[in-house]
């Protein structure tokens, strides 16, 4: 099969033949001494095409992981958006899992800690955020379990820092409703927030 044209793209070369177009990594192109006008084996070109796409997809995944952590689901979706090839993306994901670059259990533990300790979200909001990132429900709940007590302890802190300016009058029920709604959006339990507001005003009056 004759190679009709070899064209340089941004990160690879396209090799055009009468039967189709193949995407080849530059290093593989040089290793096999492929040039325009030569006869090339179709099976070899197909194999090099698969290897080249795997290399590009794997490098892309590693580049993304250098900037931040990803769950399995999030990385798979990222790769599918670019390559639109299930078999390719699954093989890349398999390699990432095998080398430990993708680990949902580790990712879930780190994310749970960040959402509760740093973002100060309640357990319900943290759970929704984690599920949105493609984590399994059971894994999410297990990762959040050690932070349940901390989430409760965060309520008065968040209440004072974020909503203290609204809580100036114990008889202003509209302000209370606004604060409760805001705390609910952060994932906190209605009753726990209501009790915290009562404690807040009790301390406020004492001061």
Convert the pLDDT of each residue in 151-184 to its tens digit.
Answer: 999 999 999 999 988 888 888 889 999 999 999 9
pLDDT score, position 205: 56
For 22-72, what is the HEC assignment?
EEECHHHHHHCCCCCCCECCHHHHHHHHHHHHHHHHHHHHHHHHHHCCCCH
Check residues 29 and 204 and name the one with the higher pLDDT: 29
* Residue 101 and residue 71 in contact, taking contact as beta carbons nearer than 8 Å: no
Residue-wise pLDDT for 68-116, tens only, equals: 999 999 999 999 999 999 999 999 999 999 999 999 999 999 999 999 9
Residue 1 has pLDDT above 90, yes or no: no
Give the H/E segment covering residue 116.
none
Q: What is the reported pLDDT for 168?
A: 87
Helix (H, G, I), strand (E, B) or coil at 15: strand
Q: What pLDDT, on the 0 to 100 scale, is given for residue 7?
A: 94
Question: What's the length of the chain?
Answer: 207
Q: In what order do the strands lie in the sheet with 20-24?
A: 5-8, 13-17, 20-24
pLDDT at 207 over 80: no
């Amino acid at each position: 099969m004759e190679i009709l044209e070899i064209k340089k793209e941004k990160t690879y070369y396209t090799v055009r033949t009468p039967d189709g177009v193949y995407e080849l990594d530059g290093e593989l192109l040089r290793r096999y001494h492929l040039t325009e006008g030569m006869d090339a084996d179709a099976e070899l070109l197909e194999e090099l095409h698969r290897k080249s796409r795997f290399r590009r997809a794997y490098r892309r995944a590693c580049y993304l992981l250098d900037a931040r952590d990803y769950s399995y689901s999030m990385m798979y979706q990222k790769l599918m958006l670019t390559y639109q090839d299930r078999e390719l993306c699954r093989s890349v994901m398999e390699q990432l899992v095998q080398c430990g670059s993708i680990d949902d259990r580790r990712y879930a533990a780190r994310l749970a800690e960040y959402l509760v300790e740093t973002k100060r979200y309640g357990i319900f909001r943290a759970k929704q955020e984690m599920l949105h990132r493609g984590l399994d429900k059971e894994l999410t709940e297990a990762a959040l379990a050690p932070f349940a007590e901390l989430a409760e302890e965060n309520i008065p802190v968040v209440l004072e820092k974020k909503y203290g300016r609204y809580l100036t009058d114990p008889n202003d029920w509209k302000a209370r409703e606004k604060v409760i709604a805001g705390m609910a959006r952060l994932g906190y339990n209605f009753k726990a927030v209501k009790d915290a507001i009562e404690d807040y005003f009790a301390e406020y009056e004492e001061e």
